[in-house]
Chain A
Amino acid sequence: MINNKIRYALVKGDKTYGQITDELLLNVEQKPPLWWFAGMTIGTILLAIGGWAFYMSLSQGLGTWGLTNSVAWGWDIINFVWWIGIGHAGTAFTIFFLVFRQKWAGSINRSAEAMTVFAVMCAGLFPLIHMGRPWLAFFILPYPNTRLLWLNFNSPLFWDVLAISTYLITSIMLWYMGMVPDLATIAQRTKNKVGKFLYGMFSLGWNGSLYTYSRYETLMKILGGLAAPLVISVHTIVALDFAVSVLPGWHATILPPYFFVGAIFSGFAMVLTLMILFRKAFNLYDYITEKHLDNIAHVLKFGSLIIGLAYVTELFTAWYSGVDYEIYTFFRARATGSFSVAFWIMFVFNAVIPQLFWFNKARKNLIILFLISIVINIGMWFERYIILVSSLAEDFLPSSWTHYSPTMVDIGIYLGTFGLFTCGMLMFVRYIPIVAVNEVKPIARAEKLRKQKAQDHEH
């Protein structure tokens, strides 16, 4: 079944179940280390900055942002798409590796999903706050009303509302359901009465019986099945916001697949960043091995190739279309004009630098891995910047061309989402096992069996 010669160890060391439980619950059961408090402080400061920026936007109006009559979406939507992209990877991790039976993802799932949940929450803030009248945000929901008002089903923004809210709910369900057995374990072990009550409550009466396990497995499969199309739909629909429009650089059918791959790409980069940090912080070297990181690097390399292909395809179609506006947007505004710096940052960071992962040495070097994961996320931010701003700032009529630059409030909101994400992730690592204990145990067991078999074979 498993060929030892090819397969590598997914969980290192010869560990007993007890050992695994002890090691993986360490982050919940130990007192939080100093860096955790430092992180929380920074996160809270960022949140406070975000709170100020939110307050300014709500109390004064969107004039506090850098938007203009021509560039009516700026940092708000760039950051929205960026966070949505990051929020893509967690669920994708679970789902696709489930489908492809890639067991190695087992030890990364949990934190990737946590990342998804917080990233989508960050993303979700933007469509809300970018409205001129956010207090009327409920207008955008299909609710029956006496005024017989209904929504415009032609608008991709409405599809967005449905796609993102469905995705968020499903992601939370998947994440939460996945951790139920672990919560039960914690509840059993903890001495703290409050903790026991809360963990017990959230473990939904998990008793570890085969019957429970069977139901649990079924539920996870159903949720996985539900989430799989959503992973694809959410970012393609975000892409449709652009593709459905008439603007040069937006009006392109390549955008949905391009956005989808971009999202996976940036999400995996963020997973890589977080995994490198987590395994160091919680001594998870045995569970998140170099091989895991190596695998992610391979995925990134592949993603980078597709992204590069998409960039080149866009340029080609612009040229091949012969449409002046498209040619201007891609070859003048983006590649050589006012946006060329951002364009080449995007191109090099996303399509060129990750190609270093062809080299074994680069994949094995933690520092390079970490740096490239950050570079990709910066590159992906610039990709969204290029798509959004260059098409809006220099569109059809040169008379309305403008420059765009963010204000302190724009930056504040972005920093605030970092605060939300940081605090969210830190709370997560404080109260919930980073690696899914219940998923790792069978993997470790399989590992053990395999080793035994191999030893038997030798004898």
Chain B
Amino acid sequence: MIEISNVSKSYGPKIAVQDLSLHIPNGELFAFLGPNGAGKTTTIKMLCGLLFPTTGTVRVGGFDLRSHGDQARALVSYVPDQPFLYEKLTGREFLQFTADLYAMPRDRAAEKIDEVIDLFHLDEFVDDLTERYSHGMRQRTVFASALVHDPKLLIADEPTVGLDPKSIRELKTLLRKLADSGTTVFLSTHTLDIAQELADRIGIIDRGRLLGCGTMTDLRKHAAMDGNLEELFLKITEVPGVEITV
């Protein structure tokens, strides 16, 4: 589903991502970890087609994001850490807008809207204007809209921020279920226990470089130590690097 080949991305003289290659098959739940400023969000933005690589290619579902971006984006849903909603739309109207944007047939859209309202327990507030929503309500609504059109790839950046423990539990179950049903999930998070619990594979990026990628067993081998993900993460990212500039 995701093919990132030799991708580098520069912000002026600063290199945010350097020579990144990553292949993620259909139905995998991939957790992308890294310290602040490591290049996670830049990678996600390139996967969504918001930014283009300086060198290399990013393909989603076989479509190159640069030359066939519209087709690639039709397969993707992105849940950012700062969710965007139209303040003067109700949650239901926002879901309808998303369904229309993804060209869902009316009947199917109505069915799916009801389904995600139920799934994310939006029924109590879904007909209120979103300007009155709390952060958690906004996050749930954005998740619902991300899933309303059955995406092939779900990208979530810090999806648990602002959610209560019960919602986090439900979200974790849902993400696993989505991956099991064939949807690829690309998850960026700082919450290491969620990554360890859910992910099929984990990628660790720091200073724009992919330092390690694989299952927990692979990472343990890579770090040459046993332990949980937190210990592995600290070990892998502890090597002091120099900021890369051109």
Is B a genuine binding partner of A? no
Interface, chain A (partner B; CB < 8 A): none
Interface, chain B (partner A; CB < 8 A): none
